[in-house]
Structure 1
Amino acid sequence: MENKKRLVIYDCDIGTDDAWGLAMMLRAEELALPGGRSIKVVAITTVQGNTDVDNGTLNALRILHTLDRRDVPVFRGCADPIVPRSWAYTNLFHGHDGLNDLGDYPEVSVEQELQPEHAVNAMYRLASQHPGQVDFLLCGPLTNFANCINLYGQAFLDKIGGVYIMGGNIFGKGNVTKSAEFNFMMDPEAAHIALERLSCPALILPWEPCIDGEFGITLDWRLNVLGSVDHPFVKLLTRVERSMLEPRGFQKWVSCDSLLTAAYLFPEAMIADQREYYATVELTGAHTRGQMVLDHLRGRKVDAIHGKKNNVRVVRRLNGEPFRTIIAWTGFLNEADIAQLCI
């Protein structure tokens, strides 16, 4: 029987979307979730991605300060992808430091607050201490998770709970190259390893349902309604997102990692359509490296490659209305009625 108390490792490359997801996860510790579940965040692990791993680690500690949750352990993870990149990512959507280089952040002490254990080892240790109970929310490149698989193999895989990934794509729509999503493209080998080695289907929220979905959240509502909340977390994120999104002319507000977190916490309310596939990642294509490739011939008698067992549950469409309630509650907006989603 599934243990209703779920322990969560939140693996991230904090930027703002990871920060919203982390705040949502930590706030959810106080809830009785649908199905009688409850959750506890037992580790935040950091990885290269939106920024380098050192800045991402600092940002994780900064976010915990704004939420007054310095009790949550943070573990620094991998600084580089499994195969060194032959190209430089220069878009820097989140700035050099992941928070758009604004400064005036909460003061943190890495020496006193960061756990000495490497993130990869912490993943294995926690899964071993609580077999079947630890769920992994992977909101950045999959470098830490894949390296844990490479180091510990089946001894790790046999002990994990659920795996939830924000990354990849359904229709080949890219956001860092023309055909690859950012998290997968920042470490394609890690994504390939994770998908190939998982024995139970991971839930994947790809890029397209996030960017093409209709969630009814305008940037104006985010910055001027939710952004009016007098809370250190909201004030910091509003300052960062105002500087990052307004100059680029954004009209809608989308936060992919918090969409994955909401789908994990409230799957019945959030997930409108999902389907199982066998998925892999293109590693050698001249135009398609990093693209997630789905076997659309599933269920037919085809060759050995296409006939592999389904390894992912792909979210194809999300519900928008509950997400606005969830993100309002995450941001401490008084009018948000989260209780209606916990029934």
Structure 2
Amino acid sequence: MAERGRCEATSEQNNRLVIFDCDIGTDDAWALAMMLRAEDLLLPDGRRVKLVAITCVQGNTDVHNGTLNALRITTTLNRRDVPIYKGCANPIVPRTWSYTYRFHGIDGLNDIDDYPNIDGFKEKPEHAVNAMYRLVCEFPGRVDFLLLGPLTNFANCINLYGDDFLDKIGDVFIMGGNFQGKGNVSKSAEFNFMMDPEAAHITLENLKKPALILPWEPCIDGEFGVSLDWRLNVLGAVNHPFVELLTKVERSMLVPRGFEKWLSCDSLLSAAYLFPEAMIADQKEFYATVELSGVHTRGQMVLDHLRGRKVDSIHGKKFNMKVIRRLHSEAYRTIVSWAGFLPEANIAELCQPKAKPT
């Protein structure tokens, strides 16, 4: 059911079409729920969004399980109409290290083995990379990319189709990398970038206009975050198949590890995409690249901090990233409450257009 008031459907010409590229664990699942619910909203800047594809990539789990999870999550949300495509199973360069600490379990949903029935529901036969290219050709300039896993699919699309792809894409939004050198899978690299550093490098080096990137640090630093108690016992009390599934998964995954805060990084990017004014407290433009050869720093996102001096960039390149450095937690709680069907969530308030300064 469409939200009332400002949150009503708008004309077709204002639609932003979205390709949701993911390696579905729990945070991707929350991000996906936000995007699917948002199709009923008229956003404060006049946009309406529509998912035209869910593309799956290796990352939190292998691409087979990630694709199964996309089928499972869309089933709980009664959205089997959204096409799902299986993408790249391996990073561009084979890993020389073994990733054994599976935070999301082997299958991406902590192996709870209590999943919705998806019999008869399958992904499309087309490869995700080809689907990306086909869709931007069908809708040039109108397709935005939410890239929530390793960037393997997107980078391979760049490698295959080059400018013919890049000239047709809309805006690009990335969850990954870091801007203060904090790592979560190595001492200095964030998970999505470290799972395919070459793909991250290809993406950042080839984009023709700045992407918006949410790095690791704003997701964990300061007072940002929602308590795990609120997530499991308030939001988790909602009687809905999606919430019930995710609550089982996150309870089994986070409680035994002693978590007190609930982190859902990918859903933070979805919230920032939908409600940038409400969500983004601070962002800054940089030229960014990815370290590929460092013994201790492979996969780290490197920012050019010489901007603003006499030399604009040590590489002579224009800014390619708008880096989110701080987020608003209060707006996020409202958005994730609404995405989780909590009755008291007042999303219409966030949908009101901001008054222009006089």
The structural deviation recorded for 1:206 is: 0.1
Change (3 A) 1:304 1:172: closer
Structure 2 counterpart of 1:45: 55
Q: 1:303 offset after TM fit, Å?
A: 8.6
Gaps of 5+ in 2: 1-12, 353-358
SS in 2 for 1:106: coil
State yes or no: 1:295 paired with 2:304: yes
Question: Which of 133, 139, 147 is equivalent to 1:138?
Answer: 147
Q: CA deviation at 1:104?
A: 1.5
1:82 aligns with 2:92: yes
Q: Which of 282, 285, 289 is matched with 1:273 structurally?
A: 282
TM-score (norm 1): 0.97
Q: Residue 216 of structure 1: CA displacement?
A: 4.9
CA contact (8 A) 1:53 1:76 kept: yes
Quick one: distance in 1 between partners of 2:234 and 2:254?
A: 16
Distance in 1, matches of 2:211 and 2:224, equals 24
Distance in 2, matches of 1:306 and 1:291, equals 17
Counterpart position of 1:31: 41
| Superposition misfits of 4+ residues, deviation over 2 angstroms | 213-216, 299-307
| CA distance, structure 1, for counterparts of residue 46 and residue 312 of structure 2 | 42
How far 1:34 sits from its partner (Å)?
Answer: 1.1
For the 8 Å contact 1:300–1:307, the answer to whether it is kept is no
In structure 2, the partner of 1:218 is 227
CA offsets 1:261-319 (integer angstroms, 9 cap, x no match): 00000000000000000000000000000000000001333397433110000000001
| Offset, 1:112 | 4.7
The answer to whether the 8 A contact 1:280-1:293 is kept is yes
Residue of structure 1 equivalent to 2:76: 66
- State how 1:1-343 maps to structure 2 within 5 Å: 4-109=14-119, 112-302=121-311, 305-343=314-352
Query: Following the alignment from structure 1 to structure 2, what is the Cα–Cα distance between the partners of residues 74 and 141?
Result: 17
Distance 1:16-1:326 versus aligned 2 partners, 3 A rule = same
What SS class does the counterpart of residue 309 from structure 2 fall into? coil
- Cα distance in structure 1, aligned partners of 2:20 and 2:312: 37
Return the alpha-carbon distance in structure 2 between the equivalents of residues 29 and 57 of structure 1: 22
Q: Secondary structure at the match of 1:115?
A: coil
Whole-angstrom CA distance in 1 between matches of 2:79 and 2:31: 15
Task: State the Cα RMSD in Å.
Answer: 1.1
| SS of equivalent to 1:137 | strand
* Aligned-residue offset at 1:166: 0.1
Partners of 1:215 and 1:324 within 8 A in 2: no
Instruction: Determine helix, strand or coil for the equivalent of 1:136.
Output: strand
Query: CA 1:5 to 1:301, structure 2 compared with 1: closer, same or farther past 3 Å?
Result: same
Which shifted more, 40-49 or 299-308?
299-308
Q: Distance between the aligned counterparts of 2:161 and 2:184, measured in 1? A: 32
Number of residue pairs the alignment of both structures matches: 340
Distance 2:164 2:309 in 1: 33
- 2:5 equivalent in structure 1: none
Structure 2: distance between partners of 1:159 and 1:206: 25
C-alpha separation in 2, matches of 1:272 and 1:265: 14
Contact 1:219 1:253 in 2 (8 A): yes
- Report SS of the residue matched to 1:114: coil
Percent identity (aligned): 76
